[in-house]
Amino acid sequence: MELDRREFAQMMFGGMTLAGLTSFGLPAEAAASAGTVLKQADAIRNPQTSFAVYVKLTNYVRGKVREQTSVTTYSRPTGGQFNTLVHINAPSADRGKILLRNGNILWLYDPASKASVRISPRQRLLGNASNGDVVSSNLVGDYRAKLAGTEAIVDGEKKTRDCHKLQLTQAAKSAPYSSVEFWVDQASSQPVKGKYYTNSGKLIKVAWYRKARNQMGASRPTEIVIADGFDPNKVTVMQMGNYRAKDIPQSWFNKEWLPNFKA
């Protein structure tokens, strides 16, 4: 229901807000720069072509490993965003299950019953990582970006880095968070850290992007440490590896195709 209000407000005031950014004194070049910085960070977070990547998620509670999941995600760019299939490799109880994301459409497919269940973006499948974390997505398009200055912050490897600080506000209904504070390395455009907020302004999670490695032609973070904003004892580590270009037909991103999917 809240989204209704949000969508309504966005419909009514979205254009005014964008126009207002310049009329209220934010330099046009700064607004453009915010978009450019975010776009560069997006291009580092995800290859902007069809690709597959192996992802391992480890959940910690009070420092103990509580849960591990490994998935392979298959992503295909479409209209500035990605369609994604997340194939679960482990644990064995979930092996073969598939999460399909096509815009705001999310399906969970179970190979044992050949059943697909429509789920909401809010429903979590993989520990502290939300569906939105696991599927590939660009922040550009989902959020309006505004430069909020520069800041020296401690990165995921506990080194101090000079960063652009971006203030992102939700622009698309498929965006999983209401707002995001996002830090991007000034020198390399590497994403460094993100703080993600709900509609009510509550901090829901903090993510550190680290361990940059060369993958598919770019130096990309291969590990994301996600701390739960509600309970700091809960931490999820996403490790990404074996990025590879893969031609993925559009037909795969249809729930009726899922029984035909072969990993």
Partner 1 sequence: MKRLLMHSVAATLAFQIAMPAMAQDFDLPPDLPGDSVADLPQDDAVAAPDASDEVPEVAAPGATVPELAPATELAFDEPDAGGIDGLSATLKLETRFFSNTNLDDETEGALRFQAHYFGDYSLGERASLNFNLRARTDIVDGQEYTFSDDFAIDIQELALTYAITPGTSLQFGRINIRNGVATGFNPTDWFRDNSLVASSSAAPADRRNERLGVVAFTGTTTIGQTLIQAGYRPEIDAEPDTLWTDADVIGMGLDRTNPSEVWFLKVTPYINDNLSLTANAVLIDEDPGIGFELSGTLGDNLVLYTEVMGQYRLSLADEALGGSLGTPGFRDDIGVDGDKDWYFQAALGGNWALPERFVGAEDVSLTLEYHFNEAGLTASQIDALSGATGFDRMAAGALYGVANRRQEPLARDQFFTRFAWNDFVQDADMSLLGFYAPADNSGLAQLSVDIPVGRNGNFNLRGITTFGDDRSVYGVNPTKRSLQMGFTYTF
Residues 80-119 contacting partner 1, CB under 8 A: 87-97, 102-107, 110-119
Which of 11, 160, 187, 260 touches partner 1 (CB under 8 A)?
260
- Using the rule CB under 8 A, give the single segment among 8-16, 22-30, 134-142, 220-228 that binds partner 1: 220-228
Q: Which CB sits closer to partner 1, 35 or 121? A: 121
Q: Which CB sits closer to partner 1, 31 or 148? A: 148
Asked if 255 interacts with partner 1 (CB under 8 A), we say yes
Query: Which residues from 36-75 bind partner 1, rule CB under 8 A?
Result: 49, 51, 54, 56, 58, 60, 62-70, 72
- Among residues 145, 154, 152, 219, the alpha carbon closest in space to that of 182 is found at 145
- Among residues 160, 120, 162, 166, the alpha carbon closest in space to that of 143 is found at 166
Q: How far is the CB of 148 from partner 1 (least distance, A)?
A: 16
Asked if 9 interacts with partner 1 (CB under 8 A), we say no
Going 15 to 141 to 177 to 157, the CA torsion angle's sign is negative
Which of 2, 8, 20, 80 touches partner 1 (CB under 8 A)?
2
* Binding track, positions 132-171, relative to partner 1; x by CB under 8 A: ---------------------xxxx-x-------------
Q: Which CB sits closer to partner 1, 12 or 152? A: 152
Binding-site size, partner 1 (CB under 8 A):
115
Q: How far is the CB of 101 from partner 1 (least distance, A)?
A: 10
Using H for helix, E for strand and C for coil, what is the string for the chain? CHHHHHHHHHHHHHHHHHHHHHHCCCCHHHHHHHHHHHHHHHHHHCCCCCEEEEEEEEEEECCEEEEEEEEEEEEEEECCEEEEEEEEEECHHHCCCEEEEECCEEEEEECCCCEEEEECCCCCCECCECHHHHCCCCCECCEEEEEEEEEEEECCCCCEEEEEEEEEEECCCCCCCCEEEEEEECCCCCEEEEEEECCCCCEEEEEEEEEEEEECCEEEEEEEEEEECCCCCEEEEEEEEEEEECCCCHHHHCHHHHHHCCC
Which of 1, 11, 28, 187 touches partner 1 (CB under 8 A)?
1
Asked if 12 interacts with partner 1 (CB under 8 A), we say no
Q: Dihedral of the CA atoms 35, 39, 40, 42 (nearest 10)?
A: 140
Q: Which CB sits closer to partner 1, 25 or 63? A: 63
Which of 4, 25, 28, 187 touches partner 1 (CB under 8 A)?
4
Q: How far is the CB of 17 from partner 1 (least distance, A)?
A: 20
